[in-house]
Structures are given as structure tokens and as C-alpha cells.
Chains A and B, each alone.
Chain A
Amino acid sequence: MTTVDQIAPPKRRRFVSLTLWVGLALVTLHIITGLLTLVWTPYDPAGMTGGRLEAPSLLHWAGTDRLGRDFLTQIMIGSRIALIVGTGAVAIGAVIGVTLGLLAAFASKLLDDALAATLDILIAFPTLLIAMLVVAAADTANLGSAIFALGIALSAIVARLTRILTKRVLLMDYITAARTSGTSWLGVVFRHILPNIWPTLSVSFALQFGLAVIAEASLSYLGLGAPPPNASWGRLLQEAQGTVYTAPIGAIAPGLALVSLVIGINLLADGLRDTIDPTRRAR
């Protein structure tokens, strides 16, 4: 048989995403900084190595805090804490949320409606409020309870999105084709549903990561996050609020660090989605 429909040759072009590279650069900077603090910091994080509220100098590049501790060291350790919190919370939220969302999408109408209503109620509460409730229930404020609390709070958002995306994919003929080809439901989930909802989920995870970092900073600001001597950016901001006019670097530096990490993660997710998704790559 001859080939009747002419097939255009594949368009192979190098795909370069600026957002990917900018995001990758910002996130890599934070990761390197976070890892570096495990083995080296400019000064002892708890050591009072300078005068109180010193301005930036060659000795202390970002100045010192009100106790005379090197501020750059605190910011660097803050990177590590933010990455741990973001990764941990998103991982917990993703595992719980994706599982719940898939179950809801496959469940009977009654169970699906019940799960959807529960998720809607949970989402109606601000993430930070849920996290505060979980931390309060845990009785002690520490980094672990903050990560767990944020993970639980984020899981409702992830579950709702996963449910909606999965239901949409389940309507596609390629799912029926997979079933009639003998693919099990588990195979359908791993071969068809997760790859097709992943691009949207990954962007959501990036947003959740940013949300978790900001929420952890807020919890720390309120004294419910990482306790001292953990140099969380939220705690640094809280400590700097009394000296914001006399030593503004104390408020600006952790704020900039926080913003750069959140923007970096979002750009990285956007760029990765564009690079991984074959349908977007061709545009």
C-alpha cells in the first residue's frame, strides 16, 4: 500500500526558554547557598561577631543584626530553611493531594460529591490559618510541625485541582482506547492521566512552593515557625521591624531573598512545562 497522506518532515529546532534559565539561575543560587551553609558560613550564625546594627562593610557584607550577628550568614541559613520548608510542604501536599484527587475522580458520584464538598470547605480557609491550627494542635512550634501543617493545608488545593484535571482527562477517547486495549486502571493512571495532568500540576506545585515559603515566613514572623536559632526569613523580618528606619537592610535583605526564591521557582516551573510538554514545544 502506498502512503496516501503526505507527512511533513518533523520540525526539529532547539528549544530555549528564557524563563527556564532565569528561574534555574535563581533557584540554583538558593540551593547552592543552602547547601553551602551545611559546611560553611561566613561567621558562626549564633556568634556576636560585630557591633549592633552595623551597616554593610567589607567585614559584614550585609551588616549585622541588633545582637551583632552577621546578617549575610542569617540570610544564607534562611535559604536552607525556606528550601526545606517549601520542598517538604509541597511533597506532603502533592502525595496527599494527588492521591485524594485521583480517588475522588474515580469514586462514585456520592463519594466524589462528599470529597469535593470537603475540599471546598478546606480551601475556603486561608492556608496560613489552617497551618496555624495544625501547629497549635501540635502543641510545639518547630520546623517539622510547620512543614507538616503547610503540607496538610496545601493538599486540599492540590486535591481539588487533581480531581478536576483527572475528570477532564477521563472524558478523552484515548482513555477509553487504553481500556479497550487492555490497560488496567492503574496503568491508565500512570501512563495517561498523570503525564497529561503533570504540566498543570507542576505549575501549581511551584505556586504552592512559593505559598509555603511565604506562609512559613509568616508563621515564623508570628513565632509559630522555626524557633531560634533557626534564621528563618520570617523571623529576621519580625526582628527587623523595630529597626526598619535605622537599619533598613534588615528588612530589605530577607524580603529580597524571599521574593527571588518565589519568583525563581515560578519561572523554573513555567520554563520546565514549556520544555517538557511536546505540544507546547512545537509552538
Chain B
Amino acid sequence: MSLLKLDNVSFGYSSTKTVLDGVSLDIQPGDSIGLVGESGSGKSTLLRLLLGLTRPNSGSISFKGAALDPRNAAFMRAYRRQVQVVFQDPYSSLDPRQTVLSIVAEPLRSLKIAGDHRQMVIDALVSVGLEPDILTRYPHEFSGGQRQRIAIARAIVAGPELLLADEAVSALDLSTRIRIVELLKQLSAKMTLVFVSHDIGVVAALCEKIVILEQGRIVEAGATRPILTNPQHPYTQRLLSSVPRMPA
């Protein structure tokens, strides 16, 4: 059974401007999928739909066969536990007035997950390569990479099946980006990953499958390697040709 399935989903902020047009996607458990497209291609809108923050104008989204309905509180509580997200900007995604313990424990607290929350937070921090003695510290005391690790710890602390990452490394410097990509790769071995990015190189390093979005439509989708080595759609070819290369 599909973990998450989009069937002919369309969305527009107004009747004249369509952001997503007939998007169908089938995410299987264990997949690592990269959603690639330029700015304005509808990647972030698609992610908001997957998070249940917005409802599609037409089409349907289902999670393990059940319709994703943001108005169904009981369903959404179970859904939130299974689907978590990491955002692009590590400086805006952590509440500056909360300690690391409070930030990472938020899903446990809000979703009323039983257990020793403090120990679960420590386990999550260690699993993303952070020391457990940072619980009482505030976000401004950390670098961008460390903040993104805290954000990832928050996303995985409740043990989700699906991790959504919205341009999760694009705000980081190169060396930090590589380390966070390595971390996400390790996590993708344990859970399903949907990685939204405009950086085709990062997606190539991280994802087994790739979906190319152009102006709200999927133009090419499949296994990453064949698509990147032999792109069929002109837009994919254009995207690949625009990747900067070191001079010979």
C-alpha cells in the first residue's frame, strides 16, 4: 500500500493563477524522493498540501489509504505523528525564546506521546550528532548547521514514518550542507524521505527517485540515476545544463 498518494491534485491561490495542475504522486514506504524544480514551480505549495496546511482545489491526497482531511482532528493527530517536516531556514524554524529541550519536545508534548520526554529528546539529539548537554540552551547560541540538526531532532523525535524536507540544506554553507546531507541520508535508511530542493546535485546525492516539477506540472519522474544521465524532457535537460561545473 502507498504511504502517501496524490491523485490528480490541483491548487491555485486564485481562480486565475494555478500553482499545481493535475499532480499525481505515489510515495511508497522506504522511498527517498527528491522534488526538484525552479522557484515558482510549486514545490513548496505541494509540501504545504502534504503537510495538511492547505487543501487542494481538486484531486485527493491519501495517507495509507485514508483521505488526508485537515478538518478531521483525530486523523490529523495520527498524521502529524507519522509525518514531520524540516524547514529551509534554521534561523526562523526554531523559537528563539524556547530552550532546545522545549523545542525538540514540542511534538511529544502536543501529540501527547507517552514516555520520558527528556530521555526521548536526548536520544533524538544524539542521533543527529548533538551533545545531550545542550538541553537548557537557546537557539541563538548555535551555528546554522547545529540549528538545522536541532530542527531535524524535533522532526524525528516522535518517530515519524515520513520526513519532509523543504530546501533543508540550501541556507547552509557548503561544508555544513554536506554534513546535513549525510545525516539525512542516514535517516532515509530508517524512514521515508521527501526532499524538496532546487539543487539537483543534492537530490542526486540523497534521493533514489526524482520528480521534476515545471510550473505546477510533473514533467518527469522515476529513478534518479537514469533521469539524470538520460533526461527526456527539455525542462530536465535545461535544469541539468544549468548546474554549475568546475572549469576543466
Within 8 A of A (CB), among B60-109: 76-77, 80-81, 83-85, 87-89, 92-98, 106-107
Which chain A residues border B137 with CB–CB below 8 Å?
10
Tell me, rounded to whole Å, the shortest Cβ–Cβ distance linking A262 to chain B. Answer: 28
A187 interface hit (Cβ, 8 Å): yes
Known A180-B84, A181-B111, A182-B81: A7·B95 in contact at CB below 8 Å: no
Nearest to A196 among chain B residues (CB) is: B97
Known A10-B141, A180-B51, A282-B140: A3·B129 in contact at CB below 8 Å: yes
Interface string of A7-26 (1 = CB under 8 A from B): 11011000000000000000
Additional A-B contact list (16), CB under 8 Å, known A173-B89, A180-B53, A182-B77:
A1-B129, A5-B143, A8-B141, A174-B92, A174-B93, A176-B53, A177-B85, A179-B53, A180-B83, A181-B107, A182-B81, A182-B110, A183-B106, A196-B95, A196-B96, A279-B138
B117 interface hit (Cβ, 8 Å): no
Alpha-carbon distance between A8 and B97 when the two chains are bound, in angstroms: 19
Within 8 A of B (CB), among A76-127: none
Within 8 A of B (CB), among A162-211: 172-174, 176-184, 187, 191-192, 195-196
Contact in complex: A3, B131 (CB < 8 Å): yes
Which chain A residues border B146 with CB–CB below 8 Å?
5, 7
Alpha-carbon distance between A87 and B80 when the two chains are bound, in angstroms: 43
Tell me, rounded to whole Å, the shortest Cβ–Cβ distance linking B179 to chain A. Answer: 5
Nearest to B78 among chain A residues (CB) is: A182
Nearest to A282 among chain B residues (CB) is: B140
Contact in complex: B127, A1 (CB < 8 Å): yes
Nearest to B130 among chain A residues (CB) is: A3
Partner of A7, one of B92, B106, B111, B131: B131
Contact in complex: B96, A279 (CB < 8 Å): yes
The 10 lowest CB-CB distance pairs between A and B, nearest first, are A173-B93, A182-B110, A181-B107, A182-B80, A173-B87, A183-B110, A182-B111, A173-B92, A174-B95, A278-B138
Contact in complex: B140, A279 (CB < 8 Å): yes
Tell me, rounded to whole Å, the shortest Cβ–Cβ distance linking B54 to chain A. Answer: 11
Alpha-carbon distance between A179 and B84 when the two chains are bound, in angstroms: 10
Tell me, rounded to whole Å, the shortest Cβ–Cβ distance linking A98 to chain B. Answer: 17
A2 interface hit (Cβ, 8 Å): yes
Q: Supply 30 A–B pairs (Cβ within 8 Å), ascending by A.
A: A1-B126, A1-B128, A1-B129, A3-B129, A4-B179, A5-B146, A5-B179, A7-B146, A172-B93, A173-B93, A174-B95, A177-B93, A177-B106, A177-B154, A178-B106, A181-B80, A181-B84, A181-B110, A182-B76, A182-B77, A182-B80, A182-B107, A183-B110, A184-B110, A191-B95, A195-B95, A196-B95, A278-B96, A279-B97, A282-B140
Alpha-carbon distance between A172 and B129 when the two chains are bound, in angstroms: 26
Contact in complex: A7, B142 (CB < 8 Å): yes
Alpha-carbon distance between A176 and B166 when the two chains are bound, in angstroms: 12
B176 interface hit (Cβ, 8 Å): yes
Alpha-carbon distance between A170 and B233 when the two chains are bound, in angstroms: 39
Contact in complex: A7, B134 (CB < 8 Å): yes
Nearest to B158 among chain A residues (CB) is: A181
Contact in complex: A176, B87 (CB < 8 Å): yes
Which chain B residues border A11 with CB–CB below 8 Å?
141
B35 interface hit (Cβ, 8 Å): no
Tell me, rounded to whole Å, the shortest Cβ–Cβ distance linking B247 to chain A. Answer: 30
